[in-house]
Chain A
Amino acid sequence: MTKQLDGAKLAILANRFEGVARKMANTLLRTGRSGVLNRARDFSCCIVTADCDLLAAADALPIHVLSGPDLMARAMREFHPDLKRGDAYLHNSPYHGCSHAADHTILVPVFDEAGKHRFTVLAKAHQADIGNSVPTTYHGAARDVYEEGALIFPAVQVERDFKSNDDIVRMCRLRIRIPDQWWGDYLAMMGAARIGERELEALGRDVGWDQLDAFAAQWFDYAERRADEAIRALPAGRTQATSTHDPFPGTPAHGIPITSIVTVDPAAGRIEVDLTQNPDCLPSGLNLSESCARTAALIGVFNSIDPTVPKNAGSFRRIDVKLRENCIAGIPVHPTSCSVATTNVADRVANATQRAIAELADGHGMAEVGAVIPAASGVVSGVDPRTGAGFVNQVFLGFTGGAARAGNDAWLTTAHVGNGGMCFQDSIELAELYQPILVQERALLPDTEGAGQWRGAHSVRVEFGPIGAPIDVGYVSDGGINGPKGARGGLSGNVAQQHKRKRDGTLEELPACAMIRVEPGETIVSVSCGGGGYGAPTARDRDRVRKDVEEGWVSKSRAREIYGYDV
């Protein structure tokens, strides 16, 4: 029989599980082939229990893992009740727990010596291409999954006895653009998952599988206690906030208002986030998957409470996320498209949630993080005139977006709220080496921050264009109309903008969601959203305002007019 583990043994086993997840992530980072994976680090690795509860994730993107791995593992178990050692499953179905079709996920069930399924390891990575009808993994204008065009894998078996099912591989190679790049990433993900499997098998042999089960149960209880304590520190109340996504093709003309209704019950140590009042699914790629709807609400809550509360199935027990079917921020029904589920509307959910909590009392919650995906973080494709070879890849030429929270200015390079700043930003030189492009400018813009006692991020302006041959740039840039709102008297950050600079130097405004052909001699000028401020700007510490002026973040006139301080 197992017994109660003490606080030291819990700590050690928690470290060991995280160590396994980190080992997976390190392997994936260093072996991936596409830029979105190895230059931008748009991937996550995690471990769920046999009951499909999230146990450990290391260095993962929040929107990838809080909820989703649990749902995907459940789908795997349901579709394949006779799981065996040596199996591996490919999953990207947003109708069965994946975030969106672009996030290919490898699931490997892990067994003890007696053949009992004990854990499942997951390696999830945003792909450079997934065979969509257009060369972008973010098809914002898709009316449904058919127009979106991705191959959908609802936990499809891709390995048996550690050997690959080449039928599936051939299907992918015939459909996904730049198949060698996809194959390189696939191998890297499989390698990471198999390393996780090997490490967990060793851990089980070392410590004993029943001990690991006992640990998981007690670690969840610990996380729940910590969540309980953190929620008890919040004021009681019911509050709501709305964060509106800009109009895109297929949306109402006024855009998509996303409302999060938050009820904090400190006495019970519980938080409820109700998303059911939001609009129905739209004929658009913006609909959330269940994974992203649930996760985005959790992100808003975790951004607002003690950061040391572990994020796992135990702490999640204290957060009730209410979703409904056929809701844009809920549970989509096939063939609804969820092509852009990890960013745009999901970010509105998280932002509305954390800003709602901010309205409960000073010191809590967080302002809004800027919206994405601007053209400078879009998917570029074309034929490289230097080699004659085709290319397609998401670039990360410049993002900011960070929001302020009580006690701290924004983390500048947050990217978007669902990412939390984990993404890498492209090196200009690498971007110019790998794509036939030139980046004329990447510069932060003064006076674009969400002003406040604690200030949000500034916008970054990126100007880039093709060399020698045209390129296509696909993007889904929210936040051009509805900028990131501040909280508790903090001001909004700058809005996003995108223009094409034509050969004669004139600027043409571009739509928010588009696939743009850019000819040599033309450039895209892309401005990212800033981030919202927290608290009244006039309450900002004078030394901070002075330093902002000295460093060129804030002009003297803005310091005087907005911050009320004559430097």
Chain B
Amino acid sequence: MTSQRFRFACDTGGTFTDLLVESDQGLRMYKAHTVAGDPAKGVLDALTKAAIDHGLELRALLEAGELFVHGTTHAINAIVMGRTAKTALLATQGHTDVLVLREGGRTDPFDHTVPYPDPYVPRALTFGVPERIDASGAILTKLDEARVVEIAKELVARGVEAVAIAFLWSIVNPTHELRVAELLHKHAPGVAITCSHALNPTLREYRRTSAAAIDASLKPLMTRYLGGIEERLRDEGFSGRVLVLTSQGGAMAASALAAAPIHAINSGPSLAPVAGRYHAAREGDGARNVVVADTGGTTYDVSLVRDGFIPWTRETWIGAPYRGHMTGFPSVDVKSVGAGGGSIAWVDSGGVLHVGPQSAGANPGPACYGKGGTKPTVTDASVVLGHLDPDYFLGGSVTLDAAAARAAIQNEVASKLGLSIEEAANAILDLVTENMVQAIVDITVNQGVDASDALLIGGGGAAGLNSVAIARRLGCATVLFPETGAALSASGALISDLTAEFRRPCFTATDRFDFDEVMTSFAALAAEAHAYEEAQKGATLGATITFAVEARYPNQVWDLEVPLEHARFNGPADVETLRQAFHAAHRQVFAIDDPNSAVELVALVARVRCALRDRDLPRLGNAGGRDKLAARKAWFQSRGWCETPVLRIEDLVPGQNRAGPAIVETPFTTIVIDPGARFRATQSGGLAVDPAPARVSVAA
């Protein structure tokens, strides 16, 4: 047995499983292929690579492990593939079509080829319960318990495994939901239950119902999955702590997650901004705002850090907006678009180029993978331009077929547009860059961040191919590629805190402030937060509790969260402070405010963060490139083919600026720096690129 202690952070993505292993000797990164159908195998494969690298048996490595933090796509995959539990919905009678009608909205009013989405729970498994509570919490129709018992029996008879209970106004008065849960426990024992008011105390019945239905449907399988992965780690000798990443950008004990598995929907991507905030602060850039981009094979995920805070949203869709299902659950705001290395380029009948939304995926993958793909992708474009070395893709673990890439781009794009093959490849990169820029613009507009004064963080294995161009287009002064950027979410996992959130609806306003109600609710929230903190004592390094209110102007429907210095409202001065803080928040996000207006409160929030570490991440030990590096020919729009130096990070003197063109390679990623850009290694092993002051015109 080794005397070292290890901490593992693992993020299972669609294509790769990223693993970071931290020990006294530093940090090391590994990538294994994700195994569809058995995600635990991808995890163990990555761990096996780590064991070999450390000269240890897998068992010895795991026995020396003290922490395993895990990001998983298991929950979202189960939903996308329709492999969740057989789930029923109990809703207020007269309102059982809540999941069918949703909130309306559509992406393209003329595209009649898109089918109207099926409800998350079939109508055949949706039951109306005679009961009704109004906005004030008054019971208008008493709960018909006999009917509930009948329904319970039918659920059992029909083999239902999970039930969501979601009644109108249960957030104001949860009596009926609680009673129905009791009755189901008794009359349908063993069925997993989620009550909407407890899981997601928010206004808008569709969002609360959708969250409850999704959560319930995940319970049986996530309980099995989390138990299974923990068991396999234990079988191999691991005796440390197992945590799972949440959509809220923190970590939870696996057992706590099994009780509310909706937290795992965006388990990995939500950690990207946590990592981005850390890396931005560490590099001492001083930027107030950070745009964090994570480029994968099929998706491009964008998230933000605004003044040190990571903005949240309730409007997270599983699948496309209006076509998929809204989780309605507060989560780190991550915008995903279908753009990545595998996005397919094609020319329409009118002679206009498109990139995506179709993706070549992992199979057959880009033409250059040589697995039978003939459609040109973004990766093929980078091969054609010499930006990617066919012999050193992913550190040489894959050899690319440059001839296939050339043929695909020549046939499908260059010939059709009347461009040279290099111009065609460059056009593909320009267009995918624009698609990614628009994704960044969308999220920054909605969150009130000006991208041009933000630091851009390029994360993900394919980020280096066009992130300099993205930064230039956005007007960002700098794009930073952190040392662990190729496994951004996993690096976020290593620095994540244990988090919990407590929330209570509270309807009042600054011009009729209900001091009693607000103070009573905050006292209750504080008690819940302290109890959580107490339960974690010993296992964590101290906790911080923060308070916030969700508020809006009268009649607005989009709430803003306003952080509070303290949860005390002793008199009108405190209320006025809150009102002014709301005006400022509204100005920041929406550029306007209404200074004479009162402010309505909707909910009160308490958050607990328990730190799991108190030191910086160590340097990455296996980031060095191959030994023999030579300059190679690469193509850039401003120069055409030119001899381009190929560098390793360790060849660069930290802080010393160099001018592009250059290509910086690590075993995990390739960063392309075009002529005009300036770049330097940072003190902590990252690469910072200033994408040239000159504007680059999209039209020649």
Contact = CB atoms under 8 A, between A and B. Distances in A.
B352 interface: yes
Given A307-B108, A420-B110, A423-B105, A31 B592 contact: yes
A443 B557 contact: no
A6 B428 CA distance: 12
A74 interface: no
Contacts of B697: 206-208, 211
B100 interface: yes
A432 B133 CA distance: 11
Interface string B445-458: 11000000000000
A238 to B, nearest CB: 24
A7 B555 contact: no
A181 interface: yes
B109 A421 contact: yes
A5 B553 contact: no
Interface string A194-216: 01000000000011100100110
Interface size class of B (residues with CB under 8 A): 35 or more
B112 interface: yes
Contact of A11 (B113, B352, B418): B352
A146 interface: no
A446 B103 CA distance: 20
A61 B430 CA distance: 30
Contacts of A424: 103-105
Interface string B79-113: 00000000000000011110011111111111111
Given A222-B350, A444-B100, A9 B434 contact: no
B445 A41 contact: no
A383 to B, nearest CB: 16
Contact of B134 (A222, A413, A432, A441): A432
Contact of A191 (B103, B441, B592): B592
B698 A434 contact: no
Given A15-B435, A425-B101, A303 B116 contact: no
Given A427-B203, A429-B203, A195 B698 contact: no
A13 B424 CA distance: 17
A322 interface: no
Given A420-B109, A420-B110, A3 B700 contact: yes
Nearest to A195: B591
A10 B590 contact: no
Contact of A33 (B101, B427, B434, B555): B555
A456 B140 CA distance: 36
Interface string A1-27: 011011111111111101100110011
A35 B557 CA distance: 8
Contact of A12 (B96, B351, B431): B431
Contacts of A23: 441, 445
A9 B105 contact: no
A412 B101 CA distance: 8
B113 A408 contact: yes
B427 A6 contact: yes
B430 A8 contact: yes
Given A428-B95, A429-B205, A551-B122, A311 B110 contact: yes
Contacts of B102: 413, 425
A420 B107 CA distance: 10
Given A7-B347, A303-B112, A208 B446 contact: no
Given A26-B446, A222-B350, A551-B124, A6 B418 contact: yes
B169 to A, nearest CB: 6
A225 B350 contact: yes
A423 B100 CA distance: 15
Nearest to A63: B109
Contacts of A195: 591
A7 B415 CA distance: 12
A545 B626 CA distance: 62
B115 interface: yes
Given A12-B698, A427-B205, A460-B97, A187 B134 contact: no
Contacts of A26: 442, 445-446
A34 interface: yes
B419 A34 contact: no
Given A215-B699, A415-B104, A442-B95, 15 more contacts: A7-B347, A8-B424, A8-B428, A16-B698, A35-B557, A40-B104, A180-B597, A302-B110, A398-B101, A412-B116, A413-B105, A428-B168, A428-B205, A429-B135, A429-B169
Interface of A: 2-3, 5-16, 18-19, 22-23, 26-27, 29-35, 38-41, 59, 61-62, 180-181, 184, 187-188, 191, 195, 206-208, 211, 214-215, 222-223, 225-226, 229, 302-303, 307-308, 311, 366, 396, 398-399, 402, 405, 407-413, 415, 419-425, 427-430, 432-434, 438, 440-444, 460, 463, 467, 550-553
29 contacts: A7-B347, A7-B417, A11-B431, A13-B699, A15-B435, A16-B698, A22-B438, A22-B441, A30-B590, A35-B557, A184-B594, A206-B697, A208-B699, A229-B349, A307-B110, A398-B101, A410-B116, A411-B116, A412-B116, A413-B116, A425-B102, A425-B103, A428-B205, A429-B168, A433-B135, A434-B555, A438-B140, A550-B122, A551-B122
